[in-house]
Structure 1
Amino acid sequence: MLVRDSAHGGSQELERDVSSPMSRTRNAVLALILVVSLVLTACGGDDATSNQSDNAAVAAENTPLRLRVGVTPVPAGDILRFVQENLAPQAGLELEIIEFTDYVAPNLALRDGELDANFFQHVPYMEDFAKQHGIDLVAVVPVHINPIGAYSKKIKSIDELPDGAEIAIPNDATNGGRALLLLQSEGLITLKEGVGLTPTVRDIVDNPKNLTIRELEAAQIPRALDDVDLAVINGNYAMTAGFKPKDDAIIRESAIDNPYANVLAVLRGHENDPAVKVLAELLNRDEVRDFINEKYEGSVVAAF
């Protein structure tokens, strides 16, 4: 910078350069400080973004997994509530349990997105229902077996079953077939060879007692006991009606090599969802097996 000096009373002007070495040094320092500030601000922004990302990740890790699961009340509902109260909290899993009283609505609710999973059915029923309704269902893990049994208010032994007796069985293909196989195992009927797990009344080739087979919706069969001589009832509905299957069934299928294990089921594509995998692991814990054994005393059998 230049200044004019008119000292000493003269008109002579003296120009002086005040851009001294000290001024230049000071300006350089100020410029350096400005650059450093800009760099730190930029780095600070990156750190803030990084911290926000880290916080979001921690929040995600700490957010509980959630599942809405449809069940029939007994025993599936009891088992799932045991898991909900005793195992799920430590695993970071929140369960919403929705109860159904039939075998149709839980699969339709799963199809319609009202549920994330259900737990009430065995694989033969699941596969037949899926085929009939165009739903792609997947069994995730087996949990328990409810051996099907026959009950009566009129006889105490299968040997007392009279000629021409009326027998109620479930009207769905898999549980109806299961009932017919049970009757065949007692020599009451003979089924056509090769019918597999889903025989129908049309597959009966010998009926020496001239039995009348009455097909009813599975959930309604306990109410028909007063009207028939014998009723083949699914284990869950028998227990809901107050029966203890191990003691009260006149005849009952074996749990050994039984293909009717009840499973946790989901729509295909969701079997590896984190929450589903956690629930599957919890349902096969030793604590669940102990709960089943202690609560049901053989009327329900663990399938794992």
Structure 2
Amino acid sequence: MKKFVGYIVAIIAVLLLVTGCGSGNKEATSKSKDGKEVTVKLGFVGSDTDVWDDVKKRLKDEGIDLEYVKFTDYSQPNVALDNGDIDLNSFQHQIFLDNFNKEHGTNLVSIGNTVNAPLGIYSEKIKDVKELKEGDTISIPNDVTNGGRALLLLQTAGLIKVDPAKKQAPTVSDITENKLNLKIEELDAAQTPRSLQDVTAAIINSGIAVDAGYIPEKDAIFLEPVNETSKPYVNIIVVRKEDEENETYKKIVDAYQTEETKKVIEETSKGSSIPAWDTFGKK
């Protein structure tokens, strides 16, 4: 009789354990099968994590722990993503990604828009682009997409003209008019702020400018206008193609594209970044 009662108690205990585990998994679908948090490695360039810090706190409730992996230049995060060293990254726009996939034979895709970060012309020597003189030197990023974007910005500022057939990817050799004979110096994007001591002006990506202590809306002597032509330059969250429908990564995008995130972007970027998902779509 004692053995029988013992068997019954054991069976009830097992049933309770199974039931408890099942309900826990339903409540936190982002957690692993043992109920622990899922760690997701996010790669980006620069040191500013204010916006992602806010998103990270809210993702905790979803059972997702974001682990930051910081890179020093634009050549690294996509390689790390393709190799599986990180799970997703957030540092680039669609044109940059398209060019990377083409050059490296990779299949990385966007799963969500984040911000539009206008490119700016900066200088420690002049206060207005109209002050540029014959033969002055301007440094620009040396990668294909940001370099082309920089040349288009110089064209918008009325300083040069480029071959329209090159659309959004002109190179220095595609300059068709340069009345001031401006010298264009191509540098790694991360080095453009440092070049300001040696050149008359530099075109600096927004995130790099902020990391260097500049407030784009205040310190740039000419800032890229935000309009329909800006859409290809909206920053994106990127994953490997096979992870495009990953539910955990979708939750990260959803947590980013919120009113709470908008407020943090507006407060911390001081106008250097503009929430993009309402204007240009969520993806």
Asked if these proteins are the same fold (TM beyond 0.5), I'd say yes
The CA deviation at 1:132 is: 1.0
Partners of 2:142 and 2:188 within 8 A in 1: yes
2:247 paired with 1:282 = no
Q: After TM superposition, give the deviation of residue 82 of structure 1 in Å.
A: 1.6
1:79 to 44, 48, 51: 51
Q: Percent identity?
A: 37
Hey, what does 1:181 align to over in structure 2? 152
Matched, 1:146 2:111: no
**2-structure distance, mates of 1:288, 1:106:** 23
Instruction: Tell me, yes or no, if structure 1 residue 57 matches structure 2 residue 30.
Output: no
Structure 2 stretches of 5 or more lacking a match? 29-34, 278-283
CA 1:133–1:54: 2 relative to 1, 3 Å: farther
Instruction: Determine the structure 2 residue equivalent to 1:135.
Output: 106
CA distance in 1, matches of 2:45, 2:50: 9
Bigger-Rg structure (1/2): 1
Distance in 1 between residues matched to 2:55 and 2:157, nearest whole Å: 38
- How many pairs are equivalent? 262
Residue 213 in 1 paired to residue 184 in 2?
yes
Alpha-carbon shift at residue 51 of structure 1 (Å): 5.8
The structural deviation recorded for 1:111 is 1.1
Q: Which amino acid letter does the alignment assign opposite residue 83 of structure 1? A: V
Q: Is the 8 A contact 1:74 1:239 kept in 2?
A: no
CA distance in structure 2 between the aligned counterparts of 1:125 and 1:54, rounded to whole angstroms? 49
Residue identity in the other structure for 2:93: H
Contact 1:140 1:266 in 2 (8 A): yes
Question: In the alignment, which residue of structure 2 is the partner of 1:294?
Answer: 267
Superposition CA RMSD, Å: 2.0
User: Distance between the aligned counterparts of 1:59 and 1:90, measured in 2?
Assistant: 14
1:150-184 deviations in Å (ceiling 9; x for gaps): 11111111111011111100001110000000000
- 2:193 partner SS: helix
* DSSP 3-state at the match of 1:108: helix
TM-score scaled to structure 2, two decimals? Answer: 0.86
Pairs within 5 Å for 1:101-180: 101-180=72-151
Task: Give 1:196 shift.
Answer: 1.4
Structure-1-length-normalised TM-score: 0.81
Q: 1:199 and 2:161 equivalent?
A: no
Name which of 94, 98, 102 aligns with 2:69: 98
Large movers: runs of 4+ above 6 Å: 47-50
